[in-house]
Amino acid sequence: MFAAVVFAAAAVAQQTFQPPFVRENALVQLGDHSWVIPDGGTPRVPNVGIVVGSRATLVIDPGLGRRNGDVVRREAAKISRNAEVYVASTHYHVEHTTGIVAFPPPAKYLNARVQEDEFVEGAAAQATAFAARSALDAELLSEAGARPADVPFDREHVLDLGGVRVRMHVVGPTHTRGDTVFIVEGDQVLFAGDVVMNNSFVAAMAVSSVEAWLTAFDLLESWKPRTIVPAHGQVGSGGLIETNRAVMLAIQARARELKAQGRPADDVAEIVQREMQAARPTWARVNGVAFAARAAYAEAP
């Protein structure tokens, strides 16, 4: 547990913020078995997925801490009376994972082993940064801590909920090393985490690989999703994959071109970010472009 560190960080926070609350009574049905609680554009709140079968229910990204996890649990109960419940996350970041505290056993936690490792390595530092925003963030994270997966997996796992299957696949290193995506078979709803975004640059980071991201796009496109739920922002169509691929290919090509001219990595990152922002001035997360450009630079022959 890292509650003491979290509360210490909150003491230095002096800024206006939006409360990071998952919304109640906001469920949107996306398919016969698939629902989302949209983030409502609120920072530090994910798009929460709920998939309901005849026997079991899966929650994807249960939110930040117990309070949000409790909201998710109540919303799931409105559409499912299943006693068998599973919880999973698209990646280890605390707004996607720490709501698990509201789902004690017999609810089962599914998680990729690489995500388990990432949480142990990096969640405490991230929680400290989140808690520095406000006492409320600190309170939400007061019970946060690692929970070992009941069902750990390496690269891929298929969960049969009764009448519907959910295929989950680790595609990182993209946004994180353990980014995991979920396709609801039949509904063709893809919970894509931070791997596919809508009207936003992808949030590349220091661990990211452009080649891994392009490979991930190929895999996701082969699943033929009709609906894509990104980690944050508006739900979109399957066409988001091609939009994201085109941007990533443009970043890769420009980084390679500038590297071939002898430009250093720092210059390339700055130039590519500036050019991409000029081309799409309304898109969020432009800082991810610099990380993607650095990754493309490092991977260039």
pLDDT attached to residue 284: 94
- Tokens at 219, concatenated: 């895999």
Work out the percent of the chain whose per-residue pLDDT is above 90: 89
- Residue 170 pLDDT grade (very low, low, confident, very high; cuts 50, 70, 90): very high
Domain identity same for 112 and 217: no
Q: Is residue 187 part of a domain?
A: no
Residue 61 has a CB neighbour count (10 Å cut-off) of 30
Q: Is residue 42 part of a domain?
A: yes
The arithmetic mean of pLDDT across residues 227-232, rounded, is 98
Domain identity same for 15 and 117: yes
pLDDT attached to residue 16: 57
Q: Is residue 179 part of a domain?
A: no
Domain identity same for 138 and 16: yes
CB 213 within 8 A of CB 299: no
The arithmetic mean of pLDDT across residues 253-279, rounded, is 98
The arithmetic mean of pLDDT across residues 171-186, rounded, is 98
- Total tally of structural domains belonging to the chain: 2
Domain identity same for 73 and 138: yes
Q: Is residue 93 part of a domain?
A: yes
- pTM value is 0.93
Domain identity same for 126 and 243: no
- In sequence order, what are the residues at sequence separation of 6 or more whose Cβ sits closer than 8 angstroms to the Cβ of residue 114? 170, 172, 177, 178
CATH number at residue 133: 3.60.15.10
pLDDT tens for 100-153 read 999 999 999 999 999 999 999 999 999 899 888 889 999 999 888 889 999 999
Domain identity same for 85 and 214: no
Question: What is 80-123 written as a DSSP string?
Answer: ---SEEEEE-SSS-HHHHGGGGGS-TTSEEEEEHHHHHHHHHHH
Domain identity same for 153 and 214: no
Q: Is residue 183 part of a domain?
A: no
The arithmetic mean of pLDDT across residues 51-70, rounded, is 97
Q: Is the pLDDT of residue 79 over 50?
A: yes
Domain identity same for 39 and 164: yes
The mean predicted confidence, pLDDT, of the chain is: 93
Q: Is residue 287 part of a domain?
A: yes
Domain identity same for 211 and 124: no
Domain identity same for 65 and 210: no
Q: Is residue 244 part of a domain?
A: yes
Q: Is the pLDDT of residue 1 over 50?
A: no
At what angle are helices 240-260 and 265-279 packed, to 10 degrees?
A: 140
Domain identity same for 39 and 146: yes
CB 63 within 8 A of CB 51: no
pLDDT tens for 267-293 read 999 999 999 999 999 999 999 999 999
Domain identity same for 151 and 245: no
Residue 78 has a CB neighbour count (10 Å cut-off) of 12
Range of the domain at 290: 195-222+237-301
Q: Is residue 178 part of a domain?
A: no
pLDDT tens for 11-35 read 333 345 689 999 999 999 999 999 9
Q: Is the pLDDT of residue 7 over 50?
A: no
